[in-house]
Amino acid sequence: MKWSFDILVVGAGPAGIAAAVTAAEAGQHVGLVDDNPAPGGQIWRKGAHLPATAHQWQARLDASSVVRLHGWRVFDCPEPYLVRAERNGSWPAHPDTEIDENRGCAELRCRALILATGARERFLPFPGWTLPNVMGAGGLDAMVRGGLPIAGKRVVIAGTGPLLLAVAAHLAARQAKVAVVCEQASLSRLARFAVGMLTEPAKLWQGARYRMTIRQTPYRTGSWPIAALGRDRLEAVTLQQGGKRWDVPCDYLGCGFHLVPNIELPDLLGCRIEDGFVATDAMLRTSVPGVYCAGEPTGIGGVELSLLEGQIAALAASGNIDRARSLARQRRRRLGFVRALQQACALDPHLRELPEEDTIICRCEDVRHRSLHDHATWRDAKLQTRCGMGPCQGRICGAAAEFLFGWHAGSVRPPLFPASVSSLVSPREPALADESLVAANALHENAKETP
C-alpha cells in the first residue's frame, strides 16, 4: 500500500470520521491521520458513555478501507497535496520493549485534502489556574477517559458552553461528586439561546438529558471561578456569582470557556480565514483548490453539524456533487445554531478582570500579566517577554491574550507542532509492516543534491 491517497483526511473526530468513511464508501483510497491514539476526536474520545451515533460511525470506519494513522501529528504541509506527520512517542529502542517500531515521520500525498482539525478549549487565566488538577472541562473528561480514576472525587465544572453539562453528566455517571457547574453566561442569555433552539429539538433534548443525570448538582449561571487554591495541587476553588463569593473544596476543577477552532493547518495552507474560522462554500471547499474543511474549524456547531460537513466534503471531493448538494441543504438549516451558540457563549467582559498582576498568562514560558498588559501588539509582547514562544506555540495563551488584550496572533509557520529536528530533513520510513513509503521523496532528493 502506498502512502499516497485519493483523499487524505486530517483529524479523526466526528467530521473526519464521517469524511473518511463517506469517501471510502464512494470508492476512494482514503487516508485518515490524527494526533490522538484512537479515533473519535475529543467529543467521541474512547471510553464508555458514548452515544449510539458514535458506535455506528466507528463500526463503519472499522469496516471501511480507510488507512488510519492514529497517534501521528501533522507538523507541516509544504504544499496542498503533501502532508508531513510524525509519530507520537517516537523514542529510541528500549531493551525491554519493542517500541522502536513506533518511531517515524511520514510524507502523505493526496489528490484532495479534507481538514477536520476540530477545536480546542479556550482557557482564561485566573489566580491559581496553573495548579496541578486544574484542567479544562474537556481536558478533565479526556483524562478520565484516558484512565484517571474519578469515582468519589470532588469535582467543580466551570466555564461556558454545552460541553460543561456533557462533562458533568459523564463524570457523574462515573460516580464523581460534581459539586457545582458554573456557567459564565447569564440566565437571560441562556434563555434566549434555548428559545432560539426550539427548532432544534434534538439539541434541547440532549441538554435536558444531561440535566437529568446531574440533577443533584447545582447549575449556576453568571458564575465563574475567581481563584484556584492549594499549595502543590488544587485543594479548593473560590467561586463567584454576582456579589457572592464562596470556597468549594475539590480534587479537580474542569474549566473551559467554550471552544477555539484549530485553524493552524488551514492557515498554513493559505486557506482564507474569516472572523477566526475557515471560509468555505456550500461544498466545504476552502479558498485553496483541492482543500476542503469540515467541522468546528468552519464554525462551532457540534457533532451533528460536523458529521454533515464531513460527508459533504467527502462527497464533493469524490465527485458526488448531487448527494453533496442535498446534504448541503440540511447543513444550511443548522447554521443558525452555530450563530446562536456563539452568541450564548460570548464571554462576559468581567472575565477580563480575573488575572491579577502576577497571574501567569503564558504557561510555557511563565509570562505574567504585569509584563504583558503594557505592550501594543501580540508580536511586541512575544518578542519582549517570550509570551507564546513555548512548545504550545501560543495555542493556550494566544486565545486568552486575544480576549484580554484584543491582540491577534501573527502568521502560522511550520512546524505546526514541535517535531524532531531530523524530521525537518527527511521523513523516516514508517515501520508498518505491510506498507512502504512513496518512492518519490522530492525533499529528500533535493537535500542530497544540495552540496
Partner 1 sequence: MSEAARSIPLTVNGTTVRVAPGTTIAAAVLLAGDATRVSVSGEPRGPLCGMGICFECRVTIDGVPHQRSCQIICSSGIRVMTDEVLKGSGGTGTP
Partner 2 sequence: MTAAADVVIVGAGIVGAACARECASRGLTTIVVDAAGVGSGATAAGMGHIVVMDDSPMQLALTVYSQKLWREISAELPGDVEFEACGTLWVAGDDEEMDEVRRKRALYTSVGVDSEILDSQALAEAEPRLRRPLSGALLVSSDAVLYPPCAAGYLMREAVRMGARMLAPQRILSAGIGRVQLENGTELHAARIVNACGVDAARLLPGLPIRKRRGHLVITDRYPGFVRHQLVELGYLKSAHFLTTDSVAFNVQPRRTGQLLIGSSREYGAENSGVNHALLAAMVARAQAYLPEIGELQATRIWTGFRAATPDKLPLIGPWLEDGTLFLATGHEGLGITTSLATAKLLASAMLGEEAEIPAEPYLPARFLHEEGGTGLGQQVDAPERSHV
Whole-Å CA distances, 225 to 33, 219, 267: 37, 13, 33
175: cell is 460516580
Whole-Å CA distances, 378 to 11, 163, 273, 324: 28, 29, 18, 40
Q: Are 262 and 273 in contact (CB under 8 A)?
A: no
Q: Which does 37 bind (CB under 5 to 8 A by kind): partner 1, partner 2, none?
A: partner 1
Q: Residue 99 interacts with partner 2 (CB under 8 A)?
A: no
Q: Residue 93 interacts with partner 2 (CB under 8 A)?
A: no
Q: Which of 424, 429, 432, 438 binds partner 2 (CB under 8 A)?
A: 424
Q: Residue 450 interacts with partner 2 (CB under 8 A)?
A: yes
The residue (of 54 and 108) whose beta carbon lies closer to partner 2 is: 108
The residue (of 78 and 336) whose beta carbon lies closer to partner 2 is: 78
Cell 472572523: give the residue.
275
Q: Residue 37 interacts with partner 1 (CB under 8 A)?
A: yes
CB of 129 to partner 1, least distance (A): 9
Beta carbons within 8 Å of 127's beta carbon, 6+ residues apart: 226, 227, 228, 354, 355, 356, 359
The count of chain residues that interact with partner 1, using the rule CB under 8 A, is 49
Give the binding range for partner 1 (CB under 8 A) out of 202-210, 277-285, 297-305, 359-367: 359-367
Compute the distance between CA of residue 55 and CA of residue 427 in angstroms, rounded to an integer: 34
Q: Residue 65 interacts with partner 2 (CB under 8 A)?
A: no
Q: Which of 425, 431, 435, 436 binds partner 2 (CB under 8 A)?
A: 425
Q: Which of 235, 356, 365, 380 binds partner 1 (CB under 8 A)?
A: 365
Q: Are 414 and 76 in contact (CB under 8 A)?
A: yes
CB of 133 to partner 1, least distance (A): 6
Q: Residue 202 interacts with partner 2 (CB under 8 A)?
A: no
Containing 127, the helix (H) or strand (E) segment is none
Q: Residue 36 interacts with partner 1 (CB under 8 A)?
A: yes
Q: Residue 384 interacts with partner 2 (CB under 8 A)?
A: yes
Q: Residue 418 interacts with partner 2 (CB under 8 A)?
A: yes
Q: Residue 89 interacts with partner 2 (CB under 8 A)?
A: no
Q: Residue 92 interacts with partner 1 (CB under 8 A)?
A: yes
DSSP string, 285-343: B-SSTTEEE-SGGG---HHHHHHHHHHHHHHHHTT-HHHHHHHHHHHHHHHHHHHHHHH
Q: Which of 188, 326, 436, 446 binds partner 2 (CB under 8 A)?
A: 446
Cell 532528493: give the residue.
445
Compute the distance between CA of residue 123 and CA of residue 382 in angstroms, rounded to an integer: 18
Compute the distance between CA of residue 44 and CA of residue 142 in angstroms, rounded to an integer: 10
Compute the distance between CA of residue 203 and CA of residue 200 in angstroms, rounded to an integer: 6
Q: Which of 379, 402, 403, 429 binds partner 2 (CB under 8 A)?
A: 379
The count of chain residues that interact with partner 2, using the rule CB under 8 A, is 34
Residues of span 117-136 touching partner 1 by CB under 8 A = 120-121, 123, 130-136
Q: Residue 411 interacts with partner 2 (CB under 8 A)?
A: yes
Q: Which of 79, 232, 322, 449 binds partner 1 (CB under 8 A)?
A: 232
DSSP label at 377? S
Cell 471510502: give the residue.
24
24 burial level (CB within 10 Å; 0-12, 13-18, 19+)? buried
Angle at 249 between CA 346 and CA 241, to 5 degrees: 35
The residue (of 151 and 383) whose beta carbon lies closer to partner 2 is: 383
Give the binding range for partner 2 (CB under 8 A) out of 45-53, 119-127, 318-326, 438-446: 438-446
Compute the distance between CA of residue 255 and CA of residue 88 in angstroms, rounded to an integer: 27
Q: Residue 359 interacts with partner 2 (CB under 8 A)?
A: no
Q: Which does 120 bind (CB under 5 to 8 A by kind): partner 1, partner 2, none?
A: partner 1
Q: Which of 35, 76, 107, 304 binds partner 1 (CB under 8 A)?
A: 35
Q: Which of 221, 287, 342, 426 binds partner 2 (CB under 8 A)?
A: 426
Check whether the bond before 415 is cis (ω within 30° of 0): yes
Q: Are 107 and 421 in contact (CB under 8 A)?
A: no
- Binding residues vs partner 2 (CB under 8 A): 76, 78, 92, 375-377, 379-380, 383-385, 389-391, 393, 411, 413-415, 418-426, 443-444, 446-447, 450-451
- Binding residues vs partner 1 (CB under 8 A): 35-37, 42, 46, 71, 73, 88-89, 91-92, 94, 96-97, 99, 120-121, 123, 130-136, 138-143, 146-149, 232-233, 360, 363-366, 390-392, 395-396, 417-418
